[in-house]
Each structure stands twice: as structure tokens, then as C-alpha cells.
Amino acid sequence: MDCAALPDTLVESEIFGYHKGAFTGADGNKPGLLSWANGGTLFLDEIGNLPLSYQAKLLRVIQEQRYIPLGGREAKILDTRLVSAYNLDLQEAAERGTFRNDLYYRIAGVTIALPPLRERDGDIALLARHFVQVYGRKYQRPPVDIANETLELLRAYHWPGNVRELEHAIAGAVILADECLQPEHLAPYLRGLTPVAGDGTDVVVTLRYRCTSAAPIDLKKIKHQAAAEAERQLLAAVQKQLSLTQTELARFLHIDPKTLRSKKYLL
């Protein structure tokens, strides 16, 4: 289930199912995802987008291993493996209060942290060659190789859309390529990327924080304030030192330009 795609009003009926007469329009019984997944696996994609009220109900299901469909009276036993995914750090979301702490600790039994594509430089060429084969077969194209210059451009890009963006970029390029995928076959925004390099001068960030021991010290608040101040000083110093535009700075830092533009303290 894609938790980001379902309207809030349909989440409960989709997960738990319902009985006839449970609400207006419920003309019959409908099994929910928990029923379909019984004895198997339920994958909750983008679980962080699940509303807090439904997070509490999901937590209860996980703890008790049973649930009641909407309009039903008898609890159903549940034997399901739960797998979930989110594109942000769930632990940080729990600390911010946008995700339930108790639910996080229930689902975090085995955690796999997958870094963004921009932090996996060695994977870019492997994935690009894989997608060339996949879309070469799909579009019935002759075997296509990838030029070294093209691979360098792919490695220089920061890929804010991660693997899906790389897949779509290769899919479009395969249509235009003949025997070798050249830079001119890539989308315009991928062509002509050149790494931005500085002179190697250190960037020094000095943090100062004052508080009083007359009251309890909120370490979480201090951590977030210190991180925000370090980011502010670092971005401003790098931008000034390298004389970069915001677009160039985003490329240098391998972050989405939209994210960078949200920082109000830049030059």
C-alpha cells in the first residue's frame, strides 16, 4: 500500500476492510489489505505519510496481532510480516513528533538504510548499464554501449530524484542512441555538467551557544539549533569563498536546488 497516495478517509477501510452497512455506500463486505496479506507480507510504502491517528491503530494491530474490520464485531487473527519504507529518516520524524515514537520502535526491528544515489557513485554506472539493457529490449533497439564521457556526466549530476530519475534519463537516451549512448543523447539538463572545484582552503565554522543551568536543558533543542547554525555558516562561507551562484552551489553540495533556495540566509 502506498500510504502517500491514499486519501485520509480511505486509509482505514483499505487496511482493515469493512462489512456491509459500515458506512454510506458500503453495499457489501470488502476484505482489507490485512486480510489479503494474512500468511504473507504487507508492504507499507511511504509509511511516514500515514496520519497519526491511523498510526495508533496500526500500532495496536501489530501489538495484538488481531484487528476488527469496519462495521464488524469479531476480531480476526493476523499472521503477517510487515515491511515498510520511507524516503526520510523515520527516527528524526519521530523526534520531531510527525511519526509516533512507539510505532517507530515496533517496526524498526531490522532496518536497512539506503543512501541516496548521489552518495553511491559506484552504483551509477552499474545502474545505467542495467537500464540501457532493459529499455533496449523494451524499445527493440540494437545493443547500445555507454561512452565514458556520458558516464562522467552521469557521475557529475546530483540526482535529486535518485534511481527513478536515472532510469527515466536512460530510457529517453536509449531511444535516440544508435550503437553508443553519447552525451548529446542525454536530456539538456544533464549535458555540459562540469564539477565545481575550490582551491582546497579550509572552511571553519565556529559555534557558540549559551544557556543557563537554572532550568532543565533541552538537549534535542540545542542539537537542532546547533545544526541549523552550522549549516547557515557553512553554506554562506562556501558560497562566498567560491563565488558561486545558488545553482552552482547546489551542484557543488549535491543537493536539490529547490532545497537550497529555501535557505533564506544565502547571498
The conformational region for residue 88 under phi > 0 = left, psi -120 to 50 = alpha, else beta, is beta
Indicate if the pLDDT at residue 35 is higher than 80. Answer: yes
Among residues 61, 88, 107, which one ends one of the domains? 107
C-alpha cell at 156: 557529475
C-alpha cell at 1: 500500500
Assigned domain for 55 exists: yes
Cβ pair 56, 66 in contact under 8 A: no
Distances (CA, A) of 207 to 66, 188, 211, 224: 51, 41, 13, 13
C-alpha cell at 16: 482493515
Among residues 138, 155, 190, which one ends one of the domains? 190
31: containing domain: 8-107
Average pLDDT over residues 164-193: 89
Residue-wise pLDDT for 94-138, tens only, equals 888 889 999 999 998 888 888 888 888 889 999 999 999 999 999
Q: What end-to-end distance do the CA atoms of the chain give, in Å?
A: 43
**Residue 100 shares a structural domain with residue 54:** yes
Cβ pair 149, 182 in contact under 8 A: yes
**Residue 203 shares a structural domain with residue 186:** no
Give residue 196's pLDDT.
46
Assigned domain for 151 exists: yes
| Residue 202: alpha-carbon gap to chain centroid | 31
Instruction: Tell me the residue type at 125.
Output: A
Q: Distance between CA atoms of 140 and 183, rounded to whole angstroms? A: 21
Cβ pair 248, 257 in contact under 8 A: no
Strands (E), the chain: 17-18, 30-31, 41-45, 66-67, 76-77, 81-85, 145-146, 180-181
Among residues 52, 84, 107, which one ends one of the domains? 107
The conformational region for residue 18 under phi > 0 = left, psi -120 to 50 = alpha, else beta, is beta
Instruction: Tell me the residue type at 85.
Output: A
Select, from the ranges 95-109, 125-139, 154-168, 213-227, the one with the highest average predicted confidence (pLDDT). Answer: 125-139
**Residue 137 shares a structural domain with residue 160:** yes
Taking the whole predicted model, whether its pTM rises above 0.85 is answered as: no
Work out how many domains the chain is built from and give that number: 3
3-state SS, residue 185: helix
Which residues are bridge partners to 77 per DSSP? 66
Instruction: Tell me the residue type at 160.
Output: P
Which residues are bridge partners to 145 per DSSP? 180
Give residue 131's pLDDT.
97
Cβ pair 141, 124 in contact under 8 A: no
| Res. 195 pLDDT band, cuts 50 70 90 | very low
**Residue 143 shares a structural domain with residue 100:** no
> Is the pLDDT higher at 130 or at 21?
130
C-alpha cell at 124: 551509477
C-alpha cell at 80: 503477517
